[in-house]
Amino acid sequence: MTSKLPEIIDSHCHLDFPELFNDLGSIVARAKERGVTKLVTICTKEKDLQKIINIVEQYPEIFFAFGLHPMGVSKNENLSLEKLIEVSKHPKMIGIGETGLDYHYTSDTKELQKESLLTHISAARNTNLPLIIHSRDADGDMNNILQSEYKSGTFDCVMHCFSSGETLALECVRLGFYLSMSGIITFPKSIKLREIFSKINPCQILLETDSPYLSPVPNRGKTNEPAYTADTAKVGATIFNLQESEFRDITTENFYSLFKKVKR
């Protein structure tokens, strides 16, 4: 049965991962049942690009972004500006990334991650596509880089699966960026994160699953999937004291405002 609530969009998932790819038809069908009308699957490694392109060319409701995940950056693996620009010409590539900084698991590659992030920012400027940023345990460097680079030349951006601190959140929205809300905001212990989001204008919020990870309540412990965007939307609406239908409308409008390459 199709959801009677307004549409929502899963702005960040990983449909090429085996947990989702091996049952993709059913995954997409269940998403539609809950009003999730479009999905953005993220390619984080160049070797996976053709698999991602095959997915988006098979399903009209699926789009993709392309970049190198910061945890994958090494001396032997990087992405050139030229490659990012070349792939951006695909009609269904709508974003650059995910890129960013991750000092939680891979602090040994800090400098390489910064170089990679700068390359992706250049690609965002060159293509007029929004940047998709992953940031973990790197608030200070991330804040400094984004402020400095934005002064050098503007670009659009979403802080994917936002779970950083208030200072970075407020600085990002001051620059006109979006914060993406994932299932983390439904976790009982995420009190501080919900407080941070409550201080942000809902017109700068997107929804995502980051599936197959981070299943929202009431599906914790299960493989996450795009259909569960609806569960995050329900909790997100309460943070802003909005009706769920109103919050769905706002976040969907936000998606189209940021990802301008996607037609309604």
Q: Domains of the chain (ranges plus CATH)? A: 8-258 (3.20.20.140)
Q: 3 falls in which pLDDT band (50, 70, 90)?
A: low
CA neighbor of 4 nearest in space, from 255, 252, 245: 245
CA atoms lying within 13 Å on the CB side of residue 44? 20
Give the mean model confidence (pLDDT) for residues 206-210: 98
* Residues 196 and 244 sit within 8 Å (Cβ to Cβ): no
Q: What is the pLDDT of residue 227?
A: 98
Angle, CA of 146, 235 and 167, to the nearest 5°: 25
pLDDT band at 75 (very low <50, low <70, confident <90, very high): confident
134-154 residue pLDDT tens: 999 999 999 999 999 999 999
The pLDDT of residue 215: 98
For residue 188, give the nearest of 226, 227, 235, 228 by alpha carbon.
235
> What is the rounded distance in angstroms from the CA atom of residue 102 to the CA atom of residue 85?
24
* 1 has a pLDDT exceeding 60: no
Lookup result for tokens 């990002």: 172
CA distance 205 to 252: 9
Cis peptide before 91 (omega within 30 of 0): no
Whether the pLDDT of residue 2 is over 70: the answer is: no
Mean pLDDT of 198-216: 98
Q: What pLDDT was estimated at residue 29?
A: 98
Q: If you average pLDDT over residues 76-96, what whole number do you get?
A: 95
Tell me the per-residue pLDDT of 91-116, one tens digit each, with 9 for 90 and over.
999 999 999 999 999 999 999 999 99
In order, the DSSP letters of 123-137 are HHHHHTPPEEEEEES
| pLDDT at residue number 78 | 86
Q: Mark 237-249 as b/e (b = at least 16 C-beta within 10 Å).
A: bebbeeebeebbb
Residue 71 to residue 167: CA distance in whole angstroms = 23
